Chains A and B, each alone.
Chain A
Amino acid sequence: MSSVSLQATGRSRRRLVTNRVAQAGGILAALVAVAFLAILVGSVLQRAFHALNWDFFTKGPAVFGQTGGGIAPALVGTLLLVLIATAMALPIGVLVAIFVSEFAPRPIGDQVKLWLDVLNGFPSIVIGIFAFALAIKTKIAVLGIGHHQSVWAGSFALAIIMLPLVARTAMEVLALVPTSLREASYALGISKWRTVVGIVLPTAIGGIVTGTTLAIARAAGETAPLLFTCAIAGQVVSWDPSNSVASIPVTIFQYSESPDRNLNAQAWAAAFVLITVVLITSLVARLMLERSRRKLERV
């Protein structure tokens, strides 16, 4: 009597091999993506190391050709730009979310959501051109003269980029606030606006804050909208929003295309500062968003 072999042969063997190959492909793809991130962050860390020192954070740029110097004006500029952009985008974004989740009938709410997603997909360079056309009036043929650009214009462009992000996450969180909470409030005779302001918003505040943080992390790294609205700037620290200021992304962009090795090194250091801030804030915000979402779902 011959024993039956459990070894797969022929067609079933081929199927098993295909299965193995497909599984290996999946693992490989994930490795590639993680490797992209690791190589990117690794290169920035490795190259930023020499240029990072105290002067880098406190001084203005060095005179051309000399070593040293820093990005203090750009740090202040980015802070100013992002603060003003948040002040514009946050209230409008939250109000849009309240409109969609508390007031609008379903079809209208869906339309608003759809168009916010479309706005989110607009190329940032087009938004930069729009802010330029809207906020910067110029009759002069040669464009881009310093005093026409300002923090206001740059922040406005960044606010347009932030708006759909803030509004969409706020909507998501507001939708998770249990209806029973609202009904309990109505049953106590509390009017709708007090319910929204006093009950719904405080319940959802964690998610709204983290959504805004994610939007800030995105806006802080945007270059294209600033190229036309807030790029030609002096080399000193300025807190005046009616002036154009230097910003970290634009500084990296300009230094990266420079043939000067010192400026390349500065670009790496500035990139290090930028991705450290952006990656840490967005990682923390993501984790917190996940937590507050889970907390709301448990209610």
Chain B
Amino acid sequence: MEAGAVAQPSVLRRTRHLTDRVGDSGLLALAGAAAFIALLIIALIVWKVAAGAWPAIRHFGISFVWHETWNPVTNIYGAKEFIYGTLVTAFGAIVLAAPLAIAIGLFLTELAPHVLRGPIASLIDMLAAVPSVVVGLWGILVLGPFMRTHIEPFLHHNFGWIPIFGGSPSQSGVLIAIVVLTMMALPIISAVCRELFLTVPRDVKEASIGLGATHWEMVRTVMIPHVRGGILAGVILGLGRALGEAIAVTQVIGNAPFIHLSLFKPGNTLASQIASNYQGAGTNIEVASLVYLALILLVITFLANLGAQRIVHRFDTQRTR
């Protein structure tokens, strides 16, 4: 066979179909454009929200953040009580959800019978799929009355000397918002924990058991230290969800100024203030102030998520290496 019989690459290129010649670069261009659009949308969101808040930023400056009044009559606005409410509800929810979620992660990887692991994990995932408006509906019409007649009197009676459990029980308030947010953050954190616990190498666990550790000692000294950073990331992801939840919180929190210590009384968060007031906003400066609240919320959740994602991605690359 002669070497010349093999077609040269340049000849091949000429004979190829037109679609084949533009196809590769065409698909790359399309896909690249789509990725660019996705990133552009993120930039646009930040820019548009900042632009919408600009009149309020110019008018009130940065002191808006720690100013306490929200008064449409005198047109003076401040974010302090909403930031306070957001932080109290979100951290309250995390304090309840994180230990539960870690325990669930351990249950699903260590304790549950093998046949039950899949179904129970799916059920807990389903909890995350329930739309927030349905959780809120349940919160306002079922959980609220139950908390007022059962849980809150109990807490008040036994722990009333702590200021957060002072005050009279009510049907809508900060504590109910915390419970609702716990339900929403729980499945997110437990899903992350479960994945993490599955990555702990079997030999390390068995070595610990072989040295005479009890099951719990193995979990505490081997498994949890192995995935500590990842659990933190999962908790921050749950926190992000709790910080940004608007609808369910608006439904249950009562939407009233929150400058007291009692968790039984109504309060307000950044997201719930926006959701409950946006359509009724009368003046441009009030609308801009509401968008300013959205900007603050965006910055808080943005930082939280970015931090969590960095940890998660670091974990991923470590594992693939």
Interface hit among A56-64, A235-243, A248-256? A248-256
In the complex, whether B63 has a CB less than 8 A from a CB of chain A is: no
Return A233 CB to nearest CB of chain B, in Å: 13
Return B17 CB to nearest CB of chain A, in Å: 9
| Contact status A30-B104, CB under 8 Å | yes
**Known A129-B52, A196-B27, A286-B125; contact A122-B278, beta-carbon cutoff 8 A:** no
Q: Which of A220-239 contact B (CB under 8 A)?
A: 220-224, 227-228, 231-232
| Contact status B297-A44, CB under 8 Å | no
Chain B residues positioned under 8 Å from A92 (CB to CB) = 34, 37-38
Q: Which of B224-275 contact A (CB under 8 A)?
A: 237, 240-241, 243-247, 251, 271, 274-275
Q: How far is the CA of A31 from the CA of B156 in the complex (A)?
A: 26
Q: Which of B31, B136, B138 is close to A102, meaning CB atoms less than 8 Å apart?
A: B31
Q: Which of B131-160 contact A (CB under 8 A)?
A: 131-138, 140-142
Q: Which of A238-286 contact B (CB under 8 A)?
A: 249, 252-253, 256-257, 264, 267-268, 271, 274-275, 278-279, 282-283, 286
| Contact status B186-A121, CB under 8 Å | no
**Known A19-B215, A123-B246, A256-B141; contact A34-B129, beta-carbon cutoff 8 A:** no
| Contact status A274-B244, CB under 8 Å | no
Q: How far is the CA of A115 from the CA of B305 in the complex (A)?
A: 10
1/0 per residue A188-204: CB within 8 Å of B? 00011110110000000
Write the chain B residue with the least CB distance to A277.
Answer: B131
1/0 per residue A27-38: CB within 8 Å of B? 111101110110
In the complex, whether A76 has a CB less than 8 A from a CB of chain B is: no
Return B309 CB to nearest CB of chain A, in Å: 5
| Contact status A253-B142, CB under 8 Å | no
Task: Report the count of interface residues on A (CB-CB < 8 A).
Answer: 95
Q: Which of A25-55 contact B (CB under 8 A)?
A: 25-30, 32-34, 36-37, 40, 43-44, 47
- For A95, A160, A275, A278, the residue with the greatest tally of chain B CB atoms inside 10 Å of its CB is A95
Q: Which of B33, B190, B246 is close to A124, meaning CB atoms less than 8 Å apart?
A: B246
What does DSSP make chain B's interface, helix, strand, loop or mixed?
helix
Return B50 CB to nearest CB of chain A, in Å: 10
| Contact status B301-A121, CB under 8 Å | yes
| Contact status B214-A119, CB under 8 Å | no
**Known A141-B282, A143-B287; contact A118-B186, beta-carbon cutoff 8 A:** no
In the complex, whether A112 has a CB less than 8 A from a CB of chain B is: yes
Q: Which of A30, A134, A282 is close to B112, meaning CB atoms less than 8 Å apart?
A: A30
Chain B residues positioned under 8 Å from A282 (CB to CB) = 125-126, 129
In the complex, whether A167 has a CB less than 8 A from a CB of chain B is: yes
Chain B residues positioned under 8 Å from A183 (CB to CB) = none
| Contact status A191-B131, CB under 8 Å | no
Return B101 CB to nearest CB of chain A, in Å: 8
- Contacts beyond the supplied A99-B32, A118-B305, A126-B297: 18 A-B pairs with Cβ under 8 Å: A19-B214, A29-B107, A32-B100, A34-B120, A37-B130, A115-B38, A118-B302, A122-B244, A125-B244, A125-B297, A126-B298, A126-B301, A143-B279, A163-B41, A192-B24, A222-B131, A249-B131, A279-B130
Residues of chain B touching chain A, judged by Cβ–Cβ distance below 8 Å, are 16, 20, 23-24, 26-28, 30-35, 37-39, 41-42, 44-45, 48-49, 51-52, 99-101, 103-104, 106-108, 110-112, 120, 122-127, 129-138, 140-142, 183, 186-187, 190, 214-217, 219, 237, 240-241, 243-247, 251, 271, 274-275, 278-279, 281-284, 287, 291, 294, 297-298, 301-302, 304-306, 308-310, 312-313
